[in-house]
Amino acid sequence: MSGQIFALSPRKILVDTDPGGDDTFALLWLQSLVKQGFAEWVGVTTVAGNVSAELTFASACKVLALGGFESVKVGRSVIWEGGTIGDASEVHGMDGMGNLSHVLPDSPRQFAAASYADEMIIDTLESAPGEVTVIGLGPLTNLAAAEQKRPGILRLAKELVLMAGAFEVPGNVTSQAEFNVAFNPEAAAAVLESREDIVILPLDVTRKLILTVEMTEAIGQKYPHLELAQFIHQLGQFMSESCLRHRETAGINGFLVHDAVTVAYLFYPETLLFRRGWVRVENAGNYTRGQTILDRRHETKCFTNAFVAVEVEAMNLLGILVDDLNRLCSQRLKEGVRI
C-alpha cells in the first residue's frame, strides 16, 4: 500500500462522569478534540460520586456551556443509596469544581427534567450499535444500571474505557481501593462482567500525571480576557492546593489529572502501555472492599476481560493536554467569546 489516505470519521463519544476537578479537565480536553474534528460528542451522563447527583449534573452542564456545547444531551444519575464511601467534596470543593461554579455561565437545564442516565445509555447504544465509545470517569453506578436493565447493552459500545482501580499502588480512598470502584463495588463488578475487552486506566498510571500550576497559569496568562482560560488557571490552583494538602503529589505544586488519561488513550494511545488480564473486584472484605485484583500468576487462563494500563509517558501526555487546551482557548477566541 502506498500513498493511500484514509478519511476517518470523528469518534463518537458518550461520557459518564461525576465532575470533579480532573473530570472537568477531561471534559475540556474532549471539547478541544471535538472542535478540532476528531470526536463527536453524542452525550454526557452524570453520576453521583465526587459530589451529589444534583451537583454533578449542574457542573457538567456548566462546563459544556463554557465551551459552547449547550446542545449536547446531559442525563442525570440513577438513584442509588447503597454506598458506605462518602463523596470527595473535601478534595474537589463543595460544588466539585473548586468552588468556582458561580463564575461559570448558568445553564437553563433542569435536573428534575433530565433523562435518567441508564435510559440515555441504552437509547444511545441501541441507536448506533458498535459506533459509540463509552468513557467512564466516575463510579460505575449508571453503567451497571443500564446493563441490569438491558443485559448485553454495554457490548453494543465500540469501546468501554474506564478510569478505575489500583493494582500496584495504594488506593486513594482506602489503603487498597480507588474511589470510582470503592464508591459502588457491586456496580464495578457488574460492569467488569459485561465484556472481554474493557480498557482500564488505574491509579498506577494516573498518579504520574501531575499537571503543575505553572502549566495552567501559562494558559491563563496567554488568554487574560478569556473566561475559559481563567477558569482553567483558577481550577488548577485550587486542585493543586488540595493535592498538596492531601499529600498526593510528593510536594510538587500541581494536581493529578486522573480522568484525562481516558482521553489520551483514545486519541494519543502511543503514550500508554497495557497488560491483558482478568480483573475482578473485592466487594466483601472488611479492609479490602473495592480493591481491584489482576491475576498475574503464570497459570493457564481461559478468560480475560480487560486491558490494564501499566506505563505512561507522563510528560508527553501532559504536554499534549496543555497544547490541546490552548487550542480550545484559541478557538473560543475565534468564536468571539470573552470574559
3-state SS class at 4: coil
Q: Name residues whose C-beta falls within 8 Å of residue 141's C-beta, 6 or more positions apart in sequence.
A: 47, 48, 49, 77, 78, 80, 183, 184, 187
Task: Give the residues of the chain that fall short of pLDDT 50.
Answer: 1-3
* Cell numbers describing residue 284: 466483601
CA distance 220 to 224: 6
Q: Is 249 left (phi over 0), alpha (psi -120 to 50) or beta?
A: alpha
Which one, of 198, 210, 211, lies nearest residue 292 by Cα? 198
Rounded Cα–Cα distance for residues 292 and 297 (Å): 15
The string of pLDDT tens digits covering residues 176-215 is 999 999 999 999 999 999 999 999 999 999 999 999 999 9
What local confidence, expressed as pLDDT, does residue 336 receive? 85
pLDDT at 326: 98
Q: Which three cell numbers stand for residue 101?
A: 461554579
pTM for this predicted structure? 0.95
Residue 2 has a pLDDT of 47
Separation between Cα atoms, residue 147 and residue 330, nearest integer Å: 40
**Contacts (Cβ under 8 Å, ≥6 apart) of 278:** 294, 295, 301, 303, 304, 305, 306
Q: Decide: helix, strand or coil at residue 88.
A: coil
One-letter identity of residue 73 = K
Backbone angles phi, psi at 201, to 5 degrees: -110, 100
**CA-wise closest residue to 40 among 157, 161, 132, 115:** 132
Q: What is the pLDDT of residue 7?
A: 54
